Chains A and B, each alone.
Chain A
Amino acid sequence: MIRTPLRPLARILDARQKGENPDAIERENKRIRHEQMRDKARVRAEGRLLVLSFFFLCAFTVIGGRMGLLAMSEPSEPRGYAPGAVISASRADITDRNGNLLATNFQTHALYAQPRHMIDPEAAAKKLVKVFPDLKEERLIKDFTGKRKFLWIKKKISPEQMQAVHDIGDPGLLFAPRDMRLYPNGSLAAHVLGGASYGKEGVHAAEVIGVAGAEKYFDDYLRDPANGAKPLELSLDLTVQAAAERVLYGGMKLMNAKGATSILMDVHTGEVISVASLPDFDPNNRPRPLTEGDASDSPLFNRSVQGVYELGSTFKIFAAAQAIELGLFNADTVIDTSGPMKVGGFRIGEFRNKNYGKLSVADVIVHSSNRGTGRMALEIGVERQQEFLKSLGFFEPTPFEIVEASGGKPLLPSRWTDLSSVTISYGHGLSSTPMHLAAGYAAIANGGRVVKPTLLKQSAPQLGPRVMSEDTAAQARMMLRKVVTDGTASFAEVPGYMIAGKTGTADKPKPTGGYYDDKVINTFASIFPIDNPKYVLIVTLDEPVETSGPKPRRTAGWTAVPVAAEMVRRIAPLLGLRPAVEPVNEAVVTLTSSN
């Protein structure tokens, strides 16, 4: 670069001659030089800014483009590259306590149509009707030739039907993959499982949602992909459940009952091993709920947790147990049960107006004396009775893990008078579900601790709060055993399995008020084996009548008890309970000596 001198000699001399200040020339030249420098710097800065802005533009374009792509693209399944990460897109299975499948998923397809892409709508409709006879041809033609761009034709189709539709060969008929909920055991444990249906439906997938029972209660767990393929393990035992339902069905038919329910519960863990309610339904094809009439007539009605009944004399043991616990009586204390007995202006009578006279507390339970338990209740008093029943869970819906259970709220008297206290002591005036009763009896069976019935497999016994001492519970069990050996439940004697229990016969209340004369709810609440209590079995029959005798019999001793006894006979071996009485060994040669 040639530097222009600031003071060129020629111009300086020239200026001196003219008498001008030569410094002006220097300043002038300096200014020009500075202007040149400034222009150069500006050009360079502009260039840099341009390059920088170009890079910014590129970066923003890339980010914007990526955002646009993300916004426009279809969501895809997450890809688990990390080893060990199990993400399952499908709903988790439900199994019983031994891992037998109760509910699983099945890949199937839904059929939909895009009429715009159809080549020959009329022919396609005609052929579709041949594959699916329940479709209406006119309706299909109307849909295919009308303005609709999209319509679902069938929600679930079998592989054979899918092939038949493929063979029609119309490009406007398309398939959408579907996960279908399958209950391989049919109606087994239908009320517990409930059923499933579709939520949001798309062409690529549809969400399966639970609509009732455990499917709905555990919906969040079952749908959570993080649970992977881990099934929900219930406390039910498939084999026991099947046997119980079979026996209960036979019993219901033999006893001409309208409905029936049975609950088998482990008294230590609170696990419900089997719970049946009849009539039942197939959860694969769940019927619609009744829109009119009594909800309890629907097969969807779960009598075990929704059936709020007065459970009759089965309640008597609670009054006796509490009276013993409070030290007011013991099992041998004699109570005068002879009438008349009036409480709050209301006469307390006995079954068929019997008069038992003086009875010990144990005999009050054995003979099921209303006046006997009534007198105990009066001694206990209203508040202590309320407190006791509340601690056993009779004031709240059971915590059993199916959605219907929260609807089984017990009906309590609005004013708990002495009269209510007396009637409740023999099971009238307080309505609860058989599940409540099972939990109450479990407390007596396990030695006095409250257990909550649960549907989930447990690994350890529940150690709930204590409501009665071991000794009281043992005395109560002894009394219950006497009911079977000497009392109203003599049909419950099953050789090898010592059953203890209490019968309950309650007249059904009329919807208009008062009670029916010939409609009863019969309950047998039992504990077995009584020498080492493991299970509580509740059997309830709705409107049973036993007709083998000259007069129809409607007491629980004739209806619910034989059914429960047969159930124990069938179920106890399945539960691995060895009969206490050893089978008689036939004389066989087991050892011979050679000499």
Chain B
Amino acid sequence: MRTVMYILTTLAVVGLAFWAYRENYATQQALSDADKLHANIRDAHDRLAVLRAEWAFQNRPARLRDLADLNFDRLGLLPLHPGQFGQVDQVAYPPAPLLPITDPVDVSTMNYDALNGVAEEVAQ
């Protein structure tokens, strides 16, 4: 009886050790995956920040003003004027809505994938 107990206990210890070993490596793998994802998110944030800065820079009032002046022939844009306030009944009916975009292009990751090609790795 005692011998059986010893054998069972030993087996249990070996089994638990194996389980702990597996869990340890699975945890490390999960941590490193999370790290990679964090790094990816950080990179995406950085890219977004750059795009936002670029957007703000391209849309700075001085540039828009210059562009409006340059393209005055085509667009005829003028600064907002008190006389431009109108009545509700002067508003035209809205035009038919545009067709939905079914094939969007993700501009934020366009260059990133081409340059690094690591996004797929992480996705796996």
Contact = CB atoms under 8 A, between A and B. Distances in A.
Contacts of A572: 82
Contacts, number: 67
Contacts of A81: 34
A574 B86 contact: no
Contacts of A582: 87
Interface centre among B35, B38, B53 (most CB of A within 10 A): B53
B62 interface: yes
Interface stretch (A99-107, A342-350, A420-428, A553-561): A99-107
Chain A contact patch, size range: 20 to 34
Interface stretch (A45-53, A184-192, A301-309, A328-336): A184-192
Given A569-B82, A579-B85, A583-B83, A239 B61 contact: yes
Interface residues of B, number: 26
Given A573-B81, A573-B84, A578-B85, A101 B38 contact: no
A220 B81 CA distance: 41
A81 B49 CA distance: 23
A243 B80 CA distance: 10
Contact of B86 (A188, A569, A583): A583
Residues of B contacting A: mostly:
helix
A185 B81 CA distance: 24
A242 interface: yes
B88 to A, nearest CB: 12
Contacts of B53: 101, 104, 106, 182, 184
Interface string B71-90: 00000000111111111010
Nearest to A583: B83
Interface string A483-522: 0000000000011110000000000000000000000000
A495 B85 CA distance: 13
A79 B38 CA distance: 9
B5 interface: no
Interface in B48-75: 49-50, 52-53, 55-57, 60-62, 65
B56 A583 contact: no
Interface of A: 79, 81, 100-101, 104-107, 182, 184-186, 188, 229, 238-239, 242-243, 246, 494-497, 569-570, 572-574, 578-579, 582-583, 585, 590
Listed from nearest, the 5 A-B pairs whose CB atoms lie closest are A242-B61, A184-B56, A101-B56, A184-B57, A579-B82
